[in-house]
Amino acid sequence: MANVLRIAVVDPNDANRESLKAVLLGLDIVWLEAECSRYEFFADVIEQTKPEIGLIAMDSDPDKAIELVAEITAREPGCTLLVSSNSTDGRLILESMRAGAKEFLTEPLKEEDLTAALQRVFRQTSQDIDTGSQGCQIISVAGATGGVGSSSIAVNLSCSLAADRSNSVVLIDLDVALGDADVFLDTIPEYTLADVAQNIERLDLTLLKKSLTKHSSGLHLLPRPVQLEDARLITPDSLQRIIGLLKTSFTHIVIDTSKSYSELDMEAIRMSDDTLMVTQLDLPCLRNVVRLMMTFDDDPVLREKIKIIVNRVGQDSGQISLKKAQETIGRDIYWQVPNDFRVMVEVRNNGVPLLQHAPKAGITNSICQLSDALSGKQPDDDANESKSRRWLNLWPAK
């Protein structure tokens, strides 16, 4: 998991600004939040976009640039300012630092110098918010076949994570043809993943947040396209940029993948910190897990991300035993979710999450504990009961 620093830049020289953008877009540690061609407007840009870093190229007018540094330092003390110049004049460096700049970079900017400066800012920012956000955890949820309940787990896992008020959670429905996360949450989204991808060139954090649908649980949703033909608008590159921007503002991103393991699905899995492989205790599902793991085993990084989740445990007496299942797939089972067909049918048909509809059910507690385990929290029955009570207070009992 890695934090991403949002940066805004100003340089009246168009050629230099484009060169700087090319360098920034090649760095994983930053997201280019905004660019500006006039010193006069940059303070307002900083105020509106709230980036962690502002980069001011000084050479077009050093005196105005220093005044700008002082103005932004006074108006937006939370924004760390870097300045750059072709000059190495000691007076200019001293004045810019006195005005509030934290780093002075010599142009033409070298990628390694810029990266080092950004990393110093990153470390300082992490120290300043020691008790705050520790980065964004990306969790993809995949199924060994259709109908194993991976979407149910993705939606309810997201709601469980969102129940913790210290989290900010977004769910991406990546089943671009048949996704139904909006149905699970009984929402009618105004915008979809295709709308965001179509506007990727002008996408910023403000526009992206406006495109999300917020559920009463606190969960944000980016749903699949309405029209099947719109799925072609979503590319692995656009998905990567969307996730990269979401990482700057959310503590958790949950991605409900399709069962086709398309380029989009594989890109999501590669970007994830954990991938939950949902299966059932029957032979077709377990054989699919074996087939899929043969592919993932070719990449050690991908292999380590996979966690096997057995859904609907105890469904009937004809299920394969857990011991036999582990022997078949050659991996430990990370989590077991108990079967509760009646509750899940009610949840799906009513369009409400488990924590709202059945906060004390065994399946609800299992998914709450799964969310805690993925977040690195120690098992705590009292905490889970408290979480359920909190949700019970939000909605009237049915």
Chain segment 61-107, per-residue pLDDT in tens? 999 999 999 999 999 988 999 999 998 787 888 888 889 998 888 88
Q: What is the pLDDT of residue 317?
A: 66
If one counts every other C-beta atom within 10 angstroms of the C-beta of residue 347, the result is 24
Q: What is the pLDDT of residue 250?
A: 86
- Residue carrying structure tokens 């915008």: 191
CB 143 within 8 A of CB 312: no
CB 330 within 8 A of CB 296: no
**DSSP state, residue 308:** E
Residue 379: pLDDT band by 50, 70, 90 thresholds?
low
Given this structure, which CATH class describes domain 5-128? alpha beta
Segment 31-64, tens digit of pLDDT: 888 999 999 999 999 999 889 999 999 999 999 9
Q: Which residue has the higher pLDDT, 141 or 394?
A: 141
Phi, psi (5° rounding) for residue 380? -150, 100
- Cite the residue boundaries of each domain of the chain with CATH code 3.40.50.2300: 5-128
Dihedral (CA of 310, 316, 322, 327) sign? negative
Q: What is the mean pLDDT of residues 383-395?
A: 40
Tokens of 121: 């800012």
Q: What is the pLDDT of residue 124?
A: 65
Tokens of 94: 């001293």
Asked if the model's pLDDT at residue 134 lies above 90, the reply is: no
- Cite the residue boundaries of each domain of the chain with CATH code 3.40.50.300: 137-394
> In sequence order, which residues have a C-beta less than 8 Å from that of residue 131 and are 6 or more positions away?
none
Look at residues 205, 99, 214, 116 and name the one whose alpha carbon lies nearest to residue 158.
Answer: 214
Q: What is the mean pLDDT of residues 161-186?
A: 94
Phi, psi (5° rounding) for residue 396? -70, 145
> CA dihedral in degrees (208, 211, 215, 217; nearest 10)?
0
CATH number of the domain at 137-394, please?
3.40.50.300
Please report which helix (H) or strand (E) contains residue 31, including its range. strand 30-36
Look at residues 122, 114, 126, 135 and name the one whose alpha carbon lies nearest to residue 27.
Answer: 114
Residue 115: pLDDT band by 50, 70, 90 thresholds?
confident
Asked if the model's pLDDT at residue 260 lies above 90, the reply is: yes
Segment 284-326, tens digit of pLDDT: 999 999 999 999 998 888 889 999 999 999 877 678 999 999 9
Q: What is the pLDDT of residue 171?
A: 98
Q: What is the mean pLDDT of residues 181-194?
A: 95
Q: What is the pLDDT of residue 398?
A: 34
Distances (CA, A) of 296 to 80, 258, 292, 303, 328: 41, 17, 6, 5, 16
Asked if the model's pLDDT at residue 119 lies above 90, the reply is: no
> In sequence order, which residues have a C-beta less than 8 Å from that of residue 29 and are 6 or more positions away?
2, 4, 5, 115, 118, 119, 122
**For residue 171, what are the β-bridge partners?**
221, 254
Q: What is the pLDDT of residue 277?
A: 98
Q: What is the pLDDT of residue 68?
A: 96
Q: What is the pLDDT of residue 81?
A: 94
Q: What is the pLDDT of residue 385?
A: 46
Tokens of 19: 């060169």
Geometric angle at alpha carbon 281, from 276 and 282, rounded to 5°: 120
Q: What is the mean pLDDT of residues 191-216?
A: 87
Q: CB-hemisphere CA count at 13 Å for 187?
A: 23
Q: Which residue has the higher pLDDT, 306 or 22?
A: 306
Distance CA 287, CA 314 (A): 20
Q: Which residue has the higher pLDDT, 123 or 84?
A: 84
With pLDDT > 70 as the criterion, what percentage of the chain qualifies?
Answer: 90
Residue 125: pLDDT band by 50, 70, 90 thresholds?
low
Segment 325-377, tens digit of pLDDT: 999 999 999 999 999 999 999 999 999 999 999 999 999 999 999 999 999 88
Q: Kindly give the residue spans of alpha helices, DSSP state H, lying in the chain.
A: 14-25, 39-49, 62-75, 90-99, 111-128, 150-162, 181-184, 193-198, 205-211, 236-246, 263-271, 283-296, 300-305, 322-329, 341-350, 354-357, 362-374, 381-394
